[in-house]
Amino acid sequence: CPPALHKANQLHLFIFFFPTAKNVAPRGTPSQSSYYGKKHQARSAIDGSLASNYLGGDCAHTKQDLNPWWRVDLKSKMVIQSVAISNRGDCCRERMKGAEIRIGNSKENGGIGNPRCGIVYRMNYGETLSFNCREMEGQYVTITMPKREYLTLCEVQVFANPAEVLYLYTDIPVFTSFLDLSGRSFFFPGESDNSYVYLNPQIPMNLKALTLCMKLSLDVPESRETILFSYRTLCQDEFNLWIEISGKIGLYMSGDAVYFPPIDQKREWNHLCLTWEFTHGRTELWVNSRRQPTQFYSRRHQIHKGGIAIIGQDQDSLGGGFDAKQSYIGKIKDLNMWNKVLPLRAIRNIFRDEEVWKGNIFAWSSLTYVTTGNVTIA
């Protein structure tokens, strides 16, 4: 992933992202429940060295406490991607069995009551194990043993980024909020690489399930790619919905794709609802209340927060890289998105306008957005 950001044209927008995580532990302040040797040895666990000889001064070491702990204060709240810990190499490898990694904002009792990232089930002499903490947030990282035991750590690495939002700023008005767009639509009159709508989610798009519903009135020639919805983070496409050259509907998440049968583009309006959940990867597309063949796609995948959602253009880079030949032409309305799979009854009632289901990510009745280029509200 390139370190530089694409700077979106003609936009005053706060974009938040997380660059490549770095080991922030060495800049923190370590402490521990007790000291088998001298107090300065607590810092041996964040000295940047994977050397693992305690007698050589390479490791932190507590006394044989009940629930011993070692903690690093990162000085501010961080978004933590992973934590790696290194075991002692000269003795006593079995002592690390059962150790827990805790992350949070409480420093009470060493932080051992904070949420848990991972558990050590087995470690060899001098071994380093890495634990995926999945963007847990906290100022304190604690390694603790939930029993009476010595705790010896030869290195702790914390790969994280600041929790504060980073900003990219350019130069037109901020998001516009309408209380209700019911009965109205976004109109994209022609092919372009500069006409689109930024959508501001009401909650972070950190998704393990979703439902996206929208109504489309297309005015594009046959055998042409057309983007329907684009969501991208700094490094990758997270969630894209397409019409392929073949006319099929394509869903892309992080490079993979799944396809559904074509829709009738000559119809004045088509109502689409797409559902996906990560446990089994069950993916369904409903077109005008009729379910297409069920697909199983991206099992255990997760859509990440911190990106940009756009209708009208496909993002080849964050907030840009548009291709006019893939742009949307026509009208879009009644776009709603949820962080769950809606039941069949709800999808049918939405199509029939018999019941109002307001999206908790994007809601057409209270949409926050920015239009750019030749986009009008019809």
Helices (H), 115-223: none
Cβ-contact 21, 158 below 8 angstroms = no
Contacts of 46 (CB under 8 A, 6+ apart): 25, 26, 28, 30, 72, 155, 156
- The model's pTM is 0.59
Question: Which H, E and C letters describe 19-70, residue by residue?
Answer: CCCEECHHHCEEEECCCCCCHHHHHHHHCCCCCCCHHHCCCEECCCEECCEE
Any idea which fold 22-162 has? Answer: Jelly Rolls (2.60.120)
Helices (H), the chain: 344-351
- Its CATH architecture, for the domain 176-377, is Sandwich (2.60)
> Which of the 8 DSSP states describes residue 111?
G
The domains of the chain are located at: 22-162, 176-377
Q: Tell me, what's the pLDDT at 8?
A: 40
Tens of each residue's pLDDT in the chain, 378 residues: 543 344 343 444 444 444 568 899 998 999 999 999 887 889 999 999 999 999 999 999 999 999 999 999 998 889 999 999 999 999 999 999 999 999 999 999 999 999 999 999 999 999 999 999 988 999 999 999 999 999 999 999 999 988 754 333 333 344 555 557 889 999 999 999 999 999 989 888 999 999 999 999 999 988 899 999 999 987 788 999 999 999 999 999 976 799 999 999 889 999 999 999 999 999 999 999 999 999 999 888 899 988 899 999 999 888 888 999 999 999 999 999 999 999 999 999 999 887 778 899 999 998 889 899 999 998
CA angle, 324 then 327 then 333, to 5°: 155
> Which of the 8 DSSP states describes residue 326?
G
Rounded CA-CA distance 12/278 in Å is 34
Rounded CA-CA distance 204/207 in Å is 8
Rounded CA-CA distance 65/323 in Å is 63
Q: Say yes or no: do domains 22-162 and 176-377 share a fold.
A: yes
Cβ-contact 242, 258 below 8 angstroms = no
Return the SS3 of 360.
Answer: coil
| Residue 133 tokens, joined | 């903490």
Q: Tell me, what's the pLDDT at 20?
A: 61
Q: Tell me, what's the pLDDT at 109?
A: 94
Rounded CA-CA distance 347/144 in Å is 48
